């Protein structure tokens, strides 16, 4: 079946422009998908790093709490084994420099508390509070004044400190539990000299249930050490902080632990969801908030905020890849291709030169020079030599399609023909290609005949659908002084009138 206009240069240019546009569009779509895939992969990698750090944070917090719990439980066991922590007046005697009534027992008790305080650097101070028949008494061991706490000789001051410690909620719960579990208070900021230090009070009861004399061991744990260890655990590209629910940072001691609006906003966003910890983006950063909890599941009223830079999106994501350079190069190549196609299209608006140019490239017949304004020059040439060149071109096109060419020429034809050999040869090749595209048979018949009135006929006969000249072929034929005849199906003829006029 014939494909009308398939070889028309104008249609081929439209196809070329469409191919350039489709190629450029496909490149842009591919670049967009590639950048999106890279961004999603970077998001997943950074999110997984945050989750890994979150799991490590929970383990670190539980490990630190377990160290303190083990220390308090061991001290309780050793103090009860000594058997004189509940002796009346022993703690008051240790607070008096000149009182040596409990010299031996006091040294043993102090040595035990000092060793316990030295085991964990973050425990400062370690306190012992007892409520007996003589009232409340306490003993404190800290690291500010060496291995021993400063003596408190004033009885009223000692009683006030003991009451403040005894009536704390976590101390009361520890005493009531009878040493069965370790109790913790809420995180607080205590002023020490000119700095506020975040701390957490942990206590365990010394007495057994039902004993008359009650007491507790109290460890004040500094939380800034935990915050520093977590920051060191984060590694490059990650930031980890422990904050309170109201947005105060547990880092290095500062003059004033002020509420930071950004941390307060992030903490409210994490605690307000009521769901499992999730990763969200805030201020160009990926944030994972983890509410910390103790080993028994009770909330610690602390929050771990883990952050990393969010992967770039939009134009920054494109700029970080090689795609901008690739697209610019592709756009430049496309612009050159479009310019070349459009420029060639302007040249091809005149059908004659288009056919002539294409024919000379495919079949170099004739050697006529272009001298006239329309590029056509009439001159005599040897007919059969010229037909041999045309035949070789058509046979090559037929062989590409797997067809055979049958070219016949009357013996009575004159030896010379007067026309433009290049233009006429190109026109015959174009006719042959149209017929080759339209035939359904394996053979194409091409005849050269002499008609009446010194007229030459170039007839094409094919089996199959209709074969007709395209518009540009008719224009060239008219400039050569000829016309087309295609009345019958499968038949097309080029008629040149008076082509043998000068050979008579």
pLDDT in tens, 23-51: 888 888 888 888 888 888 888 888 898 99
Considering only residues 475 and 466, tell me which one the structure prediction assigns the higher pLDDT: 475
Strand locations in 154-211 (E) = 183-184, 188-192, 195-205
- For the chain, the helix, strand and coil percentages under 3-state DSSP, each to the nearest 5: 45, 25, 30
pLDDT exceeds cutoff 60 at 145: no
Least confidently predicted of 105-114, 244-253, 345-354: 345-354
- 241 pairs with which residues across the strands? 305
pLDDT exceeds cutoff 90 at 405: no
Considering only residues 481 and 150, tell me which one the structure prediction assigns the higher pLDDT: 481
Q: How far apart are CA 484 and CA 498, in angstroms?
A: 15
What tokens appear for 2 in the block?
A: 């014939």
pLDDT exceeds cutoff 60 at 196: yes
pLDDT confidence tier of residue 312, bands split at 50, 70 and 90:
confident
Least confidently predicted of 4-8, 27-31, 56-60: 4-8
Average pLDDT value over all residues in the chain: 78
Per-residue confidence (pLDDT) for residue 204, from 0 to 100 = 93
Average pLDDT value for residue range 171-195? 85
Least confidently predicted of 237-251, 355-369, 426-440, 452-466: 355-369
Least confidently predicted of 1-15, 265-279, 282-296: 1-15
Per-residue confidence (pLDDT) for residue 384, from 0 to 100 = 85
pLDDT exceeds cutoff 60 at 137: yes
Per-residue confidence (pLDDT) for residue 364, from 0 to 100 = 43
Is the separation of the CB atoms in 449 and 408 below 8 Å? no
Q: How far apart are CA 375 and CA 394, in angstroms?
A: 24
pLDDT confidence tier of residue 183, bands split at 50, 70 and 90:
very high
pLDDT exceeds cutoff 80 at 206: yes
Q: Please state which CATH class domain 350-503 belongs to.
A: alpha beta
What is the dotted CATH code of the domain comprising 53-309? 3.30.450.20
In 195-279, which ranges are continuous DSSP H helix? 224-234, 261-273
**Beta-carbon contacts of residue 198 (< 8 Å; ≥ 6 apart):** 187, 188, 189, 222, 223, 224, 227, 248, 250, 257
Per-residue confidence (pLDDT) for residue 358, from 0 to 100 = 43
Q: What is the residue-wise DSSP string for 24-68?
A: HHHHHHHHHHHHHHHHHHHHHHHHHHHHHHHHHHHHHHHHHHHHH
The secondary structure element, H or E, covering residue 476 is helix 471-479
Per-residue confidence (pLDDT) for residue 501, from 0 to 100 = 52
Per-residue confidence (pLDDT) for residue 38, from 0 to 100 = 82
Per-residue confidence (pLDDT) for residue 148, from 0 to 100 = 45
Q: How far is CA 47 from CA 287, 310, 421, 427, 474, in A?
A: 9, 9, 76, 70, 71
The model carries a pTM of 0.57
Average pLDDT value for residue range 275-300? 83
Domain boundaries, the chain: 53-309, 350-503
pLDDT in tens, 70-112: 999 999 999 888 887 777 767 766 665 555 555 677 778 888 8
Considering only residues 487 and 491, tell me which one the structure prediction assigns the higher pLDDT: 491
Considering only residues 249 and 275, tell me which one the structure prediction assigns the higher pLDDT: 249
pLDDT confidence tier of residue 479, bands split at 50, 70 and 90:
confident
Least confidently predicted of 66-80, 274-288, 376-390: 274-288
pLDDT in tens, 360-376: 444 444 333 333 435 68
pLDDT exceeds cutoff 50 at 333: yes
pLDDT confidence tier of residue 218, bands split at 50, 70 and 90:
very high
């Amino acid at each position: 079946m014939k494909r009308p206009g398939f070889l028309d240069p104008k249609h081929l240019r439209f196809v070329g422009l469409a191919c350039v546009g489709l190629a450029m569009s496909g490149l842009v779509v591919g670049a967009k998908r590639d950048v999106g895939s890279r961004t999603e992969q970077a998001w997943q990698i950074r999110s997984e790093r945050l989750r890994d750090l979150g799991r490590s944070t929970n383990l670190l917090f539980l490990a630190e709490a377990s160290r303190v719990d083990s220390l308090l439980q061991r001290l309780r066991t050793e103090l009860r084994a000594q058997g004189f922590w509940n002796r009346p007046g022993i703690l008051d005697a240790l607070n008096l420099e000149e009182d040596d009534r409990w010299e031996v027992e006091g040294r043993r008790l102090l040595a035990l508390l000092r060793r316990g305080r030295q085991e964990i650097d973050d425990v400062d101070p370690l306190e012992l509070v007892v409520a007996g028949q003589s009232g409340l008494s306490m003993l404190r061991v800290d690291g500010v004044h060496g291995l021993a706490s400063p003596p408190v000789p004033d009885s009223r001051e000692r009683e006030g400190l003991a009451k403040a410690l005894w009536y704390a909620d976590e101390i009361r719960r520890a005493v009531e539990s009878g040493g069965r579990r370790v109790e913790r208070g809420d995180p607080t900021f205590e002023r020490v000299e000119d700095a506020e230090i975040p701390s957490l009070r942990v206590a365990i009861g010394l007495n057994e249930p039902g004993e008359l004399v009650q007491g507790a061991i109290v460890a004040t744990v500094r939380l800034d050490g935990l915050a520093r260890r977590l920051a060191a655990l984060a590694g490059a590209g990650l930031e980890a902080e422990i904050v309170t629910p109201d947005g105060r940072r547990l880092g290095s001691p500062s003059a004033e632990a002020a509420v930071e609006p950004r941390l307060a906003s992030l903490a409210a966003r994490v605690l307000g969801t009521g769901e499992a910890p999730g990763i969200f983006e805030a201020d160009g950063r990926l944030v994972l908030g983890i509410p910390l909890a103790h080993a028994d599941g009770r909330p610690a009223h602390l929050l771990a905020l883990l952050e990393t830079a969010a992967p770039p999106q939009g134009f920054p994501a494109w700029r970080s890849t090689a795609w901008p350079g690739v697209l610019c190069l592709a756009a430049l190549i496309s612009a050159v291709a479009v310019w070349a196609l459009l420029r060639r299209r302007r040249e091809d608006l005149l059908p004659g030169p288009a056919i002539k140019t294409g024919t000379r490239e495919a079949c170099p017949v004739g050697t006529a020079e272009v001298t006239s304004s329309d590029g056509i020059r009439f001159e005599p040439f040897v007919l059969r030599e010229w037909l041999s060149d045309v035949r070789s071109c058509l046979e090559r096109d037929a062989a590409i399609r797997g067809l055979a060419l049958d070219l016949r020429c009357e013996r009575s034809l004159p030896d010379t023909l007067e026309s433009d050999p290049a233009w006429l040869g190109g026109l015959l090749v174009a006719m042959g290609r149209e017929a080759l595209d339209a035939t359904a048979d394996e053979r194409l018949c091409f005849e050269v005949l002499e008609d009446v009135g010194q007229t030459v006929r170039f007839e094409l006969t094919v089996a199959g659908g209709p074969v007709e000249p395209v518009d540009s072929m008719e224009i060239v034929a008219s400039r050569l002084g000829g016309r087309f005849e295609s009345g019958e199906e499968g038949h097309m003829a080029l008629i040149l009138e008076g082509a043998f006029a000068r050979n008579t």
